Structure 1
């Protein structure tokens, strides 16, 4: 009888582990270790991005290191960078102050992820609209910058906002310096996770990720 109860308890625990947990929040960005919607995403290592066939997604690189992502759409761009953050506090308040000091034409306002910065920035002598969205997560910080028409048009911006809301950040357990970019990789590069099995369907078209430097 004792063994039967133990077997039932083990079976119940196994079922609980295999059953997807309901997300505790309405939207992300999600931490890889928290319950989040389970659907196919573009796996870039430190970031897992939702699929949007309208976006031209590119990896931004410095030397041999991939440090960010740029999504191009409708004469606009969405720049993404995930950084390591300390356990005790987030980075957005500090980074926001630095951005405001460098671009005094930006102003703080309330946005879908809390306080954001919006206004115009000067790039190569030309002013253009920009929105800075900062999201503090557990030991990570995600910066999303919208440039171009979508920065001043809420309808266009909605596609980028929805994209950001479904991003999964994979911080990992490796020690990292404060504000160090979380490593990214091309989808074709082998995953360091032994439990990660690549999609071996030869007839399925994979994400086309180009590169900018």
Structure 2
């Protein structure tokens, strides 16, 4: 598995110098067992034998068949998101600062729905493996000029002073009933909030793994 660094509005670049790991979520995982299930706070991470890649605020387990990528802002160079991707779909991961006692996910769901509506789309709530989530459908223009609809499933999970937002794209968004392996990948994530004060809703910082170096590859 390669770790690829994807710059926003720029070509992809691969990141070399990261050891390949194959330990990851159980591809046959069924309904969620809440007892001992993730995602985890880094301070409560169990000794489960899963090798996770340290990306700052997120520790992510690579899995067979999925390419681990990071999305980088071209202007600032800041890492904006972590993705697990295949030709059929992708899982985007971000974490945000949240109140110690609160339900940030319930507060921001209407904001996400309103944003979809502003773009001429829809957002529908459904109950899933992690509770209430949003299924968004937004019209977009493809690189070839054709218009289409992008479907995404936005999942929010409240943790101790953090919110993990996981967005599924492609097949796992269009067909939730067959997305168990993708949801299992979310359960393997650990979040590092840190002890410093941050405004509620601010994204927790991400970083490239130590020793990783970019290498240009053809855009996909």
Range of TM-score over shorter length? 0.7 to 0.9
| Deviation readout 1:38-89 (Å, 9 max, x if unpaired) | 3211111211111203111111222222121122114211111101112231
Q: Which residue of 1 aligns with 2:125?
A: 108
* Aligned residues of 1:74 and 1:149 also touching (Cα < 8 A): no
Q: Which residue of 1 aligns with 2:98?
A: 85
TM-score (norm 1): 0.72
Partners of 1:98 and 1:166 in 2: how far apart?
27
Partners of 2:196 and 2:77 in 1: how far apart?
20
Counterparts of 1:37-186 in structure 2 under 5 Å? 37-39=47-49, 40-62=51-73, 63-104=76-117, 105-124=122-141, 125-154=147-176, 156-186=178-208
Aligned pair count reads 171
Partners of 2:169 and 2:91 in 1: how far apart?
7
Partners of 1:161 and 1:66 in 2: how far apart?
23
Counterparts of 1:16-55 in structure 2 under 5 Å? 25-39=35-49, 40-55=51-66
Larger Rg: 1
What do you get for the CA RMSD once the two structures are aligned?
Answer: 2.5
Partners of 1:136 and 1:184 in 2: how far apart?
19
TM-score (norm 2): 0.70
Structure 1 stretches lacking a partner, 5+ long: 1-23, 191-207
